[in-house]
């Protein structure tokens, strides 16, 4: 199957996983490869990366709970809740074990899922999220997340806000976030992501991940943006001391949003990892 060109070209559907109904975008055929976005984002932000793999894999890009068009329960936003969603999705699709590719929140959730049920996971790509993230970094993240719950007058206002918030993004990445991440309400546009869910997730991200990483048995690639403000060089170094067996790729010049600002390098790094 030819790789899709746009997130709008991927088939979108909702999948009842028993515990929750998740909205996904999917393409391709072959072994199962699942993609999970970061906090406040949605599946469309990972489509440009996932689409490149759709000639070799069944690529399924997921709106995680509380985000996009997936269910938004009032509670249940800890790592194990997201991980159990991932495992339920793999079972429902009945195409596992799956390669899990996660950015930020999605990285934490993918690693947690691999520990909770290794039989359903083939390998993990953990993009820019590790243990040992500093408290002040989480403080800044929480402030940014809560500030995103705004009413925007129109799409141009959304794009201007996103361009200021993500100055490293190419225009295409801004457009994807603007067009896919907001809903029409009286007076303008609001984020699709649930404000209550985002607040709970931002708090939950602070939970200690060291034991989860100790227990990780599946092949896992750690990816960090060279100038990431979320994962410091020190946090990555501590993670490598905890798990010296895990391969690491540091993407030159990239910030936290590695796959959106450096899609070519990210694709090659994941491909090399999978092929190895």
Q: Is the dihedral of CA 268, 175, 82, 258 positive or negative?
A: positive
The pTM assigned to this predicted structure is 0.95
pLDDT digits (tens, 9 = 90+) for 73-123: 999 999 999 999 999 999 999 998 999 999 999 999 999 999 999 999 999
Q: Where are the alpha helices (DSSP H) in the chain?
A: 47-50, 79-93, 105-116, 135-147, 155-165, 171-180, 195-204, 210-215, 233-242, 258-261, 263-275
pLDDT digits (tens, 9 = 90+) for 242-264: 999 999 999 999 999 999 999 99
Tokens of 261: 């600002």
Q: What residues are paired with 62 via a beta bridge? A: 24, 36
pLDDT digits (tens, 9 = 90+) for 109-167: 999 999 999 999 999 999 999 999 999 999 999 999 988 899 999 999 999 999 999 99
CATH topology of domain 7-133+197-275: Rossmann fold (3.40.50)
The one catalytic residue in 37, 69, 103, 256 is 256
Instruction: Reply yes or no on whether 256 is catalytic.
Output: yes
The one catalytic residue in 70, 104, 180, 228 is 104
Phi, psi angles (nearest 5°) of residue 269: -65, -45
Instruction: Reply yes or no on whether 70 is catalytic.
Output: no
The one catalytic residue in 63, 81, 85, 128 is 128
175 burial via Cβ count (<10 Å: 0-12, 13-18, 19+): middle
């Amino acid at each position: 199957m030819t790789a899709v060109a746009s997130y709008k070209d991927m088939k979108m559907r909702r999948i009842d996983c028993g515990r929750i109904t998740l909205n996904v975008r999917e393409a391709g055929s072959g072994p199962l490869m699942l993609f999970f976005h970061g906090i406040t984002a949605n599946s469309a932000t990972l489509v440009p990366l996932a689409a490149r793999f759709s000639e070799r894999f069944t690529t399924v890009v997921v709106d995680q709970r509380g985000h996009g068009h997936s269910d938004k329960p009032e509670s249940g936003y800890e790592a194990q809740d997201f991980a159990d969603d991932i495992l339920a999705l793999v079972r429902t699709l009945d195409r596992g074990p799956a390669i899990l590719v996660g950015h930020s929140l999605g990285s934490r959730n993918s690693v947690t899922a691999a520990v909770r049920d290794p039989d359903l996971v083939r390998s993990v790509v953990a993009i820019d999220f590790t243990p040992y993230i500093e408290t002040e970094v989480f403080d800044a993240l929480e402030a940014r997340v809560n500030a995103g719950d705004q009413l925007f007058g129109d799409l141009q206002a959304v794009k201007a806000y996103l361009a200021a918030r993500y100055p490293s993004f190419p225009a295409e990445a801004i457009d994807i976030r603007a067009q896919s991440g907001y809903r029409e309400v009286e007076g303008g546009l609001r984020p699709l992501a649930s404000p209550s869910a985002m607040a709970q997730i931002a708090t939950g991200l602070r939970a200690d991940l060291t034991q989860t990483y100790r227990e990780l048995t599946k092949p896992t690639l750690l990816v960090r943006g060279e100038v990431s403000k979320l994962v410091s060089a020190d946090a990555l170094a501590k993670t490598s001391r905890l798990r010296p067996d895990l391969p690491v790729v540091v993407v030159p010049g990239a910030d936290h949003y590695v796959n959106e600002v450096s899609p070519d390098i990210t694709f090659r790094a994941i491909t090399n990892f999978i092929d190895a």
